[in-house]
Amino acid sequence: MSKKAKQPCPITEAGIKKIDYKDVELLKKYITKFNRIVPRYYSNVSLKMQKELARAIKNARYMGLLPYVLDLKK
């Protein structure tokens, strides 16, 4: 039985220390096509960064930078 190699966090590898809710391009990478937050086991983000990421996405939604739901009529 072999163990799966632990993958490094892509956010810390990019040198990002603090996730800002105004960085919409970064946040869009961690949202599915249905505007849901991507879980850790798909994105390989560390627990600390996943919590910051979720909070930043929620703040961006509240501020109107990201949509809550899809506009299906487009």
β-strand partners of 37: 31
Q: What ranges in 14-69 are assigned the alpha helix state H?
A: 24-28, 40-43, 47-63
30 vs 70: which has the higher pLDDT? 30
All domains of the chain, ordered by start, with CATH?
15-63 (4.10.640.10)
Query: From CA 15, how far away is CA 74, in angstroms rounded?
Result: 36
5 vs 12: which has the higher pLDDT? 12
Tens digit of each residue's pLDDT (9 = 90 or more) over 7-48: 899 999 999 999 999 999 999 999 998 999 999 999 999 999
Q: pTM for the full model? A: 0.87
